[in-house]
Amino acid sequence: MQYFDHNATYPLSPAAREAWLSAVERFPANPSSPHRWGARSEQALSEARARVAAWLGCPADAILWTSGATEANNAWVGHLAQASRGPVLLSGLEHPSVRVPASRVLGGRCEAMPVLPEGVVAVDWIARRLRRGDVSAGVLVAANNETGVLQPWREVRDLCREAGVTFACDASQWVGKLPTDGLGHCDFVSACAHKFGGPVGVGFLRVPDGFLPSLRGGPQEDGRRAGTENVAGVLSMVAALEERQKALAGDVAAEVDRQALRDQWIARLQSEVPGVEILGSPAPRLWNTVAALMPPAADCRRRWVVRLDRLGFAVSTGSACSSGKEVPSPVLESMGRPPGASDRMIRFSSGWETPPAAWDELLRAIVQIASEFGLR
Ligand code: PLP
C-alpha cells in the first residue's frame, strides 16, 4: 500500500519506536512517585521538556504534556473562557477540536476572521479589528490540515502582542514539517506526536504564566494538567521530533525541492485530468499536501477514495474527523466554496520518506480512474 494520508496520522518512525521500547524498560515508575525510580522518570520528562522548549524558544516550565492536540486545544479554549471576557477572533480554518469547544464555551464571544479565497486569513482585517480594541484573544492554526495552506501566524502573533491580546496557535500540522522557531513566542501552542512520526495519544501544550487548567484532580505538571504523564510516549515523541528537527536544520534547500516536486506533480495532474482545481493555490502550502477538487461526478470523493484504495493507495477526503461523513467542510465554506465542493475534495499527504516514484505511481492510478470515470 502506498500511504498518502500522513496528515491524518503519520506512521511511527523507527527512532520513535526504539525510544518507546527503551523508555518502557528504563522508566517503569510513575514520575510523581517518591522513590528513586519515580525521580528517574521525572528527570527523563524534565530533560524532554527542556528539549521541546528549546526547539520552540520558550521556558521549559511553559511546556505541558497532553494526550494530543485535541486535549491541548480544549485546554486553551477553556482558559480563554475563564480568563477573559471580550471577543475572541478565530476563523473557519480551525480544526474541529478548536471550533467546536470554542462555539460551546465562548459562544457569542467568537468573532469570525475573514478568509481569502486561497484559504489564508485576512491579516489587514485582523490588524484593523485589533486597533478597534476590546478583543481578548486571537486564534490561528499554523497550517491547515485539509488544504495544507500556511497561515501568517507570525504576523498575527505580533499584531496580537502589540495589542496586548493573547494569541493561541494550533501547530499540529506545522511541527515536524517546518521549523519551529518563533512558536514559543505565542501564548499557547498545541501539537501532537502522531503527525510527525511519534506515537498516537501524546502531545504538548505551550502555556503562558497564569494558565487556568481545566483538567484537575492531581498535582502533575505543577498542578496545571492532572493525570499520570505518559513517559514512554513523551520520550518517543521527542525522538521523532529530534529526527525532523535535524532534517529541517540540515538541509533548507530540501524543503524548496519538495515544494517544487509537489508543484510539478500538480502540473502533470492538471494536464492529465482536465478540470482538477488545487485548493489553496497559489498561497504557500505544506510541502507534503495536495488538496484537489476533482471534476464533478456523482458521489465523487468516496468513489475516488475507494478506487484508489483498490489500486493500493491510501488517500483521504479531508480531515480525518469528517472523513466518511457527508457534511460540508467549514474550511472550504470559509474559503467561499459552495457547500457541494467538499464532495469533490481528495487530499494527498505524503511523508518525509515518500519517494518521488510513489507520486508517479499515484498519478498513473488517478489517470486510470479518470479514464474509467470518463473524465479524460
Ligand atoms: N489540530 C489539527 C490541525 C489537526 O490536524 C489535528 C488532527 O487531525 C488535531 C488538531 C487533533 O489532534 P489529535 O489527534 O492529537 O487529537
Using the mean position of ligand 1's atoms as its centre, give its distance from the Cα of residue 372 in Å.
35
pLDDT of 254 reads 75
| DSSP-derived 3-state class of residue 228 | coil
Give me the phi and psi of 346, to 5 degrees please.
Answer: -125, 135
Q: Which three cell numbers stand for residue 66?
A: 497532553
Of 180, 182, 208, residue with least CA distance to 196: 180
Using the mean position of ligand 1's atoms as its centre, give its distance from the Cα of residue 323 in Å.
14
pTM for the model stands at 0.96
Name the CATH topology of 14-248.
Answer: Aspartate Aminotransferase; domain 2 (3.40.640)
pLDDT of 74 reads 98
5 CB within 6 A, ligand 1: no
Using the mean position of ligand 1's atoms as its centre, give its distance from the Cα of residue 316 in Å.
15
Locate the ligand 1 atom nearest the alpha carbon of residue 97 and give its number: 10
Average pLDDT of each block of 10 consecutive residues along the chain (376 residues)?
97 98 98 98 98 98 98 98 97 98 96 98 98 97 98 98 98 97 97 98 98 96 98 98 92 78 97 96 97 85 93 84 63 92 93 95 97 90
Name the CATH topology of 2-9+252-372.
Answer: Aspartate Aminotransferase, domain 1 (3.90.1150)
pLDDT in tens, 41-66: 999 999 999 999 999 999 999 999 99
Q: Which three cell numbers stand for residue 49?
A: 521538556
| DSSP of 49-108 | HHHHHHHHTS-GGGEEEESSHHHHHHHHHHHHHHH--S-EEE-TTS-HHHHHHHHHHTGG
Q: Which three cell numbers stand for residue 342?
A: 467538499
145 CB within 6 A, ligand 1: yes
pLDDT of 112 reads 97
pLDDT in tens, 17-40: 999 999 999 999 999 999 999 999
Per-domain residue ranges of the chain = 2-9+252-372, 14-248
Of 130, 352, 368, residue with least CA distance to 360: 368
For CA atoms 113, 114, 116, 119, give the dihedral sign. positive
Exposure pattern of 301-313 as b/e (b: 16+ CB <10 Å)? Answer: beebbebbeeeeb
Active site residue 321: yes
Burial of residue 212 (number of CB atoms within 10 Å: 0-12, 13-18, 19+): middle
Give me the phi and psi of 106, to 5 degrees please.
Answer: -100, -25
Residue nearest to atom 9 of ligand 1 (CA): 69
DSSP 316: B
Residue 266 half-sphere exposure toward CB, CA atoms < 13 A: 23
Residue 352 half-sphere exposure toward CB, CA atoms < 13 A: 21
